[in-house]
Amino acid sequence: INPTSITIITLSIIMGTIMTMSSSNWLMAWIGLELNMLAILPIISKPKTTRASEATIKYFLTQAIASAMMLLSSTTNAWQTGSWDILELKNKFSTTIMTLSLTMKMGAAPIHFWLPEVLQGTTLQTALLITTWQKLAPISLMYMISNNIQPALLMSAGILSMIVGGLGGINQTQLRKTMAYSSINNLGWTIMIMALSPNLAVMNIFIYMIMTTPIFLMMTSTSTKTLQNLTTTWTTSTATTLSIALLMLSTSGLPPFTGFMPKMLALNELITQKLTTLATLAIMTSLVSLLFYLRVTYLIMVLTS
């Protein structure tokens, strides 16, 4: 892709996200998301392989369906309340459809199937973009309407994402798919706590992004794509491989790493609200997801020792 195209694409992605995050009207938010989606398609399809083309089509179709659901929801709400304002999402049907649309856009369960496939079909830099920047706009919209969403809906989607993210990553040897399930798992925590403390949810997703970015950048610099690659990478760049291992443990929420803090605060919030069953379930799913992070770390530690 030539420099002019890259500049236009980058500006469109940034503009789309900022437009969505700063709008108070559903139509402007939708336009921002569409601009964002159309700009990232050439980046996903950049590698001239059938996997990349397949990933592009999957990404386009899921995002287009989510956008259609978003339009349906906002139109129904405007029809009922006479307002296109984001904060005026009062209709129960509209709220449910909108929540499903936003979870689909960010790749959370139950409509998460596209995320591992899309990440596997594209480059590591694009995978980083999809797992971090592309989640900002839908999460900001969910944050804005969090007061109107039924808590049971958010918590169900959150717990389901945590279970899917934990179980899905166990059998993976491809690091991009592992990171995709890690993303689904972390989104589960974010969505679940969004029902009780939206500010804590935002902090959780930002800490996740801060930890994920260096993992992807180090994987890119060492061309590490599978667990097998990790076994050879440590001989040439031991410090980088060890950093990947420690960041993986941090992402899993293992104390005393940074990733433990938002999970501890989330569990504290759940217990304060007397949702102990939910807190126990969250801890159990977190232990399952810890298994695949430990696998990567154990592999690295055994080799370097």
**Each residue's pLDDT tens digit, 60-88:** 999 999 999 999 999 999 999 999 999 99
Tell me the average pLDDT across 25-32: 96
Is pLDDT at 185 greater than 90 in this prediction?
yes
Tell me the average pLDDT across 114-125: 95
Burial code of 272-299, b = ≥16 C-beta within 10 A, e = fewer?
A: eeebeebbebbeebbebbbebbbbbbeb
Is pLDDT at 238 greater than 90 in this prediction?
no
pLDDT digits (tens, 9 = 90+) for 243-280: 999 999 999 999 889 999 999 999 999 999 999 999 99
- What does the mean pLDDT of the chain come to? 93
Among 3, 16, 211, 223, CA closest to 125: 223
Is pLDDT at 299 greater than 90 in this prediction?
no
| Residue 303 pLDDT class (50, 70, 90 cuts) | confident
Q: What is the pLDDT of residue 138?
A: 96
Q: Poorest-confidence range of 35-44, 227-236, 262-271?
A: 227-236
Alpha helices in 171-275 (DSSP H): 175-194, 198-221, 227-236, 238-252, 260-272
CA-atom Rg of the chain in angstroms: 19
Is pLDDT at 122 greater than 90 in this prediction?
yes
Q: Are 240 and 223 in contact (CB under 8 A)?
A: no
Q: What is the pLDDT of residue 230?
A: 84
